[in-house]
Structure 1
């Protein structure tokens, strides 16, 4: 219980390090796109709660993920149940000012799926902001476990089931296996490959890259 409380204080609560980093990222987003308040944003994998408290909220946010569609949405938001790697025609036929995604790319199911998501991102808007945890940061962020991402699958499953800082320690082998196999952190070279027209930014902790953000502005050139 003490370790679960520690995870909340370190990662999950709004006042935690993780919460402060999410808030700082929202400020960085609004600084990168000064006209964010006037934009129509496609959020792949996001939730309406994430946009409710940001310093600058877009004019309209379209949330797309595999969770049940919320029944009570504010007037500035809409939501669809859909796969970010295989968007339906009803969404692909639309255009947005910005595609946004936060900590989703590493969960879509391998490189080919990531490539398909990246293609959708680049097709749907001239600007995008795609964040994902960095593979070579020493702490695996989902389980807050040192070096977990470098272990064999069986060892990662054992960590997912027993590590006390995991979201739900004690889960079944099948559930842990599914979570492990659908969590694959990404390195800088793959991000450059997936988003060749983007600038690859780094979020740092103690001088080390903690996450990567592929950023494309309407008039930006690819650089890193």
Structure 2
């Protein structure tokens, strides 16, 4: 493994114990468990998450339904996986009511204001309580590519970062693909999060005294 992927793994890999990403994920998981002390008895809908998060979680909810565009291995008792769009869920989701909706670092990927609003509407319709976390737009380092100030660059410049920056999670083969990758992330401000979740309280995760991520909690 070259120095770029090794350094990225140490900085941003949330599944690698000891990495900065893993420590941040562990802090958020602890906060989630503390915020909902009755989690063990709850039926949870995870919008855009992945089963490994819940398999390794300190508290096992009564049930977890993971909705994701990707297909995962078959469901297993308490943990169910459903393929679908978090902004337009399939009947397997819309016909049910959950105790809690959880979403970590997803809303910035759904694509534009109108789809973010639909995502927020799905959160509210699906459960009376929610935890929706997203990286903060004005933290100085863009978290997906670990590049300082990338979120403030023009799209073409961001596309070039995705192609050339050694800490990129993957390299596009051509410019159109690079542009699509760069455009797939739209980091949110506090104003935007408050507009999508006006009834929520907010928890701010900080690094070096600066807000790193924002979580809407209800």
Query: Structure 2 length as normaliser, TM-score?
Result: 0.96
Give the Cα separation in 2 of the matches to 1:27 and 1:172. 40
Q: 1:86 aligns with which of 76, 82, 88?
A: 88
Q: Displacement of 1:168 after TM fit?
A: 1.4
Worse-matched range after superposition: 82-91 or 128-137: 82-91
Q: Displacement of 1:175 after TM fit?
A: 2.2
Give the Cα separation in 1 of the matches to 2:211 and 2:92. 37
Q: Displacement of 1:170 after TM fit?
A: 5.2
Map of 1:183 onto structure 2? 185
1:14 aligns with 2:50: no
Q: Displacement of 1:73 after TM fit?
A: 3.2
Map of 1:162 onto structure 2? 164
Map of 1:148 onto structure 2? 150
Task: Mark the runs of 5 or more structure 1 residues left unpaired by the alignment.
Answer: 217-224
Map of 1:222 onto structure 2? none
Query: Structure 1 length as normaliser, TM-score?
Result: 0.93
Map of 1:41 onto structure 2? 44
Give the Cα separation in 1 of the matches to 2:28 and 2:181. 26
For 1:66-81, list aligned pairs within 5 A. Answer: 66-68=69-71, 70-81=72-83
Give the Cα separation in 2 of the matches to 1:171 and 1:150. 24
After superposition, the Cα gap between the structure-2 partners of 1:93 and 1:73, relative to the gap in structure 1 and judged at 3 Å, is closer
Task: Mark the runs of 5 or more structure 2 residues left unpaired by the alignment.
Answer: none
For 1:1-224, list aligned pairs within 5 A. Answer: 1-12=2-13, 13-68=16-71, 70-169=72-171, 171-216=173-218
Give the Cα separation in 2 of the matches to 1:169 and 1:86. 30
Give the Cα separation in 1 of the matches to 2:24 and 2:177. 29
Give the Cα separation in 2 of the matches to 1:98 and 1:14. 27
Determine helix, strand or coil for the equivalent of 1:203. Answer: strand
In the alignment of these two chains, the number of paired residues is 215
Give the Cα separation in 1 of the matches to 2:208 and 2:60. 30
